[in-house]
């Protein structure tokens, strides 16, 4: 079964409904539910990324691995840019790792939350200040799939995987806001490596919006990422 979580603003909800029809037409889903209420499942397609918070409340997985152009660690109010910080702060998850971030990357160790319970692997070389010295993040550009090894050491075996499709380059035009740095091939390689290294309890594809209905590259990415997930998760 696949759960399509039509949450967020109208463009997100319509994007999720469009995706359900698209994947059905492609013969990639048989049984599915379109809902606004999180429920137990193994594969999800989510509109606004904050929907992942509700899924985690239901599944109670302790570690989260997020592939995302943003760290989603803002702390001002609950939304798609802060849900991960809230999930950690509210004790819904214990540890999180973010792969592929280009924005909202902490550059100092001001809060315990970021240094103790989060490990970030940016898409590009970035530095942060640790005890008065500037250190480089382990990143995708320089370290490639080694970032998955590092995430495995930090998170343990069992994870919930969330794939924010805004991690792809802007030309894919799937999400409503700023896209990141990855090509579809790079994203698929990372996902394959994650499935090799971890026991993935459940997985979601998030930040789907109605833009994808007008994006050929976006639809292709959605179909390929979903196919890979379905192949592995059954
Ligand atoms: Mn996100």
The set of residues, in sequence order, having a beta carbon less than 8 Å from that of 38 and lying 6+ positions away, is 3, 5, 51, 54, 55, 57, 58
Whole-prediction pTM:
0.97
State the Cα–Cα distance between residues 57 and 51, nearest whole angstrom: 10
CA atoms within 13 A on the CB side of 221: 31
Query: How far is ligand 1, taken at its centre, from the CA of residue 30, in Å?
Result: 27
pLDDT value of position 113: 77
In angstroms, the CA 219 to CA 86 distance is: 31
Give the residue extent of every domain in the chain: 2-233
In this structure, what token pair is assigned to residue 142? 């320089």
pLDDT value of residue 221: 98
DSSP three-state, residue 108? strand
The pLDDT, as a whole number, for residue 105 is 86
CA 77–ligand 1 middle distance (angstroms): 15
Going from the Cα of 175 to the center of ligand 1, the distance in angstroms, rounded, reads 10
Q: How far is the CA of 206 from the centre of ligand 1 (A)?
A: 7
Q: Which pLDDT does position 119 carry in this prediction?
A: 95
CATH code at 2-233: 3.40.800.10
The set of residues, in sequence order, having a beta carbon less than 8 Å from that of 50 and lying 6+ positions away, is 7, 8, 78, 79, 80, 82, 83
Q: What is the pLDDT along the chain (234 residues), one digit of tens a residue?
A: 999 999 999 999 999 999 999 999 999 999 899 999 999 999 999 999 999 999 999 999 999 999 999 999 998 899 999 999 999 999 999 999 999 999 988 888 777 777 789 999 999 999 988 888 999 999 999 999 999 999 999 999 999 999 999 999 999 999 999 999 999 999 999 999 999 999 999 999 999 999 999 999 999 999 999 999 999 997
Ligand 1 centroid to Cα of residue 219, in Å, is 19
- The confidence score (pLDDT) of residue 76 equals 85
Three-class DSSP labels, 166-210: HHECHHHCCCCCCCCCECHHHHHHHHHHHHHHCEEEEEEEECCCH
- How far, in Å, is the centroid of ligand 1 from the Cα of 101? 9
């Amino acid at each position: 079964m696949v759960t399509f979580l039509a949450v967020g603003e109208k463009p997100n909800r319509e994007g999720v409904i469009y995706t359900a029809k698209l994947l059905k037409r492609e013969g990639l889903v048989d049984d599915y539910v379109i809902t606004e209420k999180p429920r137990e499942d193994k594969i999800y397609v989510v509109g606004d990324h904050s929907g992942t918070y509700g899924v985690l409340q239901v599944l109670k997985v302790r570690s989260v691995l997020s592939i995302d152009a943003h760290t989603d660690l803002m702390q001002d109010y609950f939304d798609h840019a802060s849900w991960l910080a809230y999930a950690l702060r509210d004790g819904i998850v214990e540890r999180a790792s973010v792969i592929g971030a280009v924005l909202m990357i902490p550059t100092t160790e001001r809060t315990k939350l970021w240094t103790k319970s989060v490990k970030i692997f940016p898409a590009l070389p970035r530095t942060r200040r640790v005890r008065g010295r500037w250190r480089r993040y382990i990143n995708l550009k320089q370290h490639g799939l080694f970032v998955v090894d590092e995430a495995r050491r930090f998170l343990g075996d069992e994870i919930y995987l969330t794939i924010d499709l805004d991690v792809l380059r802007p030309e894919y035009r799937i999400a409503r806001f700023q896209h990141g740095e990855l090509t579809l091939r790079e994203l698929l390689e990372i996902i394959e490596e994650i499935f090799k290294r971890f026991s993935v309890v459940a997985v979601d594809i998030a930040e789907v919006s109605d833009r994808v209905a007008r994006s050929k590259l976006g639809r292709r990415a959605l179909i390929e990422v979903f196919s890979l997930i379905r192949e592995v998760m059954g």
